[in-house]
Amino acid sequence: MKDKKMNLKVRVEKTFKDLFPLNRSLTGKGTEATFKYLKDHFLAKAELKSLKSGTKVFDWIVPEEWNVSDAYVLNGNSEKIIDFKDNNLHVISYSDSVDKVVDKKELLKHLHTLPKYPNRIPYRTSYYQKDWGFCCSQKVLDSKSFFGPFKVHIDSNHNKNGKLSWLECVKHGKTYDEILISAYCCHPSLANDNLSGIVLAVLLFEYLSTLETKFTYRLVIAPETIGAISFLSQAKTNLIKGGMILSSVAGPDNISIKDGFNKEHFVNQAAHLALKKCVGKEYLTYPFVPNGSDERQYCAPGVDLPIASIMRSKYHEYPEYHTSLDNLDFITSQGLLGGYTALRKAIEVIEKNCIPKVTVLCEPQLGLRGLYPNLSSKINSDDKDIMMNFIAYCDGSKTILEIAEVIEVPVWELFIVYDLLNEQGLVEHKENI
């Protein structure tokens, strides 16, 4: 309760600061510590789910659990020139353990740098092909301190009896139909790419827990790819009607959406309307392609979940991506909270959208109910025929979103119209869309 009373901006900044240093990967202590923090500070009712290492999930195998406690490189003078304790990007994720002396030629086979950006440490992984390796800035490689022989040491462990975990939280609504909110949790010390999506997801779900909703909402925070696949192997996907992936949402660029494979789906449309409502035409739209983040899994043939992605400084689109410059200086709480505002608007559209059907035959007597004056005082439109135009399409075949497009009236105004008509018993709606 103390956390919730804090200023939202302060909470966001504190959460970033607390979670940024943790060494997240597909599995391991850093990821588990992240989940524990989220349960303690945001989602007390969240459930930690897991599958044992070696479990077959569709065409994949749950990997061994990986942890690393120390890693460094010593030069010929026994000076520590690369140190995992200074930055956990220095070790490739899922690196094998190693403890030996190597020459420069051998070390360079296992060393990753970014010559184009000499001051940055790259982020690299070796999830499914065992190897050992380090990452460092090109500046270290070019320095006078980079001479051998080199002592390379990585104290890591692959536990075949371990597990892969993900966090799930369910907010029950009036129906069993679910909206999925998804974020991935597997990157160490990368602020925009992965950590920002986690923070926004738990904030949004915390907000949802205060509402009475039509839909049931399911939050999933899982390691990218294998985590989503593991979740899908256990999920009742027939209940999931649509959803959103939150990824890279706190950078300095414009907020954006990557359409799901069905861009006409009501969740996709709701996201567009919300972004347009919040930032006008300044948001960016990316077409659906089956790559990127976990849309590859959710939108896969046979799964076919209509999932859109919400971003700010989209992955691959900013030069700091997957480098040590994707840090706490790169992101802003203001950027993340802009996405939070937009997503609350999207939830509003998702919840209010329905398939209205008029309850009387012929033209309803609106004047006796005083609806025209009420209408004109509550909406921005000067069109006195808006209510009649809306009623004309309330035949139980179109959603409010679809009617708004047909009669070219902002959906926010039609929600007001629907509420007025519903209060008078002139329209009813189906719960399921």
Domain 65-159 carries which CATH code? 3.50.30.90
- Do residues 138 and 113 touch, judged by C-beta distance below 8 A? yes
Query: Quick one: pLDDT at residue 1?
Result: 44
Query: Quick one: pLDDT at residue 385?
Result: 78
Find out whether the peptide bond into 301 is cis, omega within 30 degrees of 0. Answer: no
Residue 87: left (phi > 0), alpha (psi -120 to 50), or beta? beta
Query: Quick one: pLDDT at residue 332?
Result: 96
Q: Smallest Cα–Cα separation from 207: which of 343, 308, 40?
A: 343
Residue 384's Cβ-count burial label (10 Å; 0-12, 13-18, 19+) is: exposed
Residue 170 φ then ψ, to 5° = -120, 130
CATH 3.40.50.2300 fits 2-62+163-352, yes or no: no
Two tokens at 87? 């930055």
Could you tell me the residue ranges of all domains in the chain? 2-62+163-352, 65-159, 355-430
Domain 355-430 carries which CATH code? 1.10.10
d(CA 387, CA 399): 15
d(CA 63, CA 27): 8
Query: Quick one: pLDDT at residue 381?
Result: 47
Query: Quick one: pLDDT at residue 384?
Result: 57
Q: Smallest Cα–Cα separation from 411: which of 376, 379, 384?
A: 379
Q: Smallest Cα–Cα separation from 28: which of 157, 134, 219, 126?
A: 157
Residue-wise pLDDT tens for the chain (433 aa)?
456 556 999 999 999 999 999 999 999 999 999 999 999 999 999 999 999 999 999 999 999 999 999 999 999 999 999 999 999 999 999 999 999 999 999 999 999 999 999 999 999 999 998 899 999 999 999 999 999 999 999 999 999 999 999 999 999 999 999 999 999 999 999 999 999 999 999 999 999 999 999 999 999 999 999 999 999 999 999 999 999 999 999 999 999 999 999 999 999 999 999 999 999 888 999 999 888 899 999 999 999 999 999 999 999 999 999 999 999 999 999 999 999 999 999 999 999 999 999 999 988 888 777 776 555 445 544 545 788 899 999 999 999 999 999 998 999 999 999 998 999 999 998 766 6
d(CA 97, CA 94): 9
Size (the chain), residues: 433
d(CA 252, CA 335): 7
| pTM exceeding 0.85 | yes
What residue has token string 């569709």?
58
d(CA 326, CA 265): 33
* Beta-bridge mates of residue 284: 256
- Do residues 188 and 25 touch, judged by C-beta distance below 8 A? yes
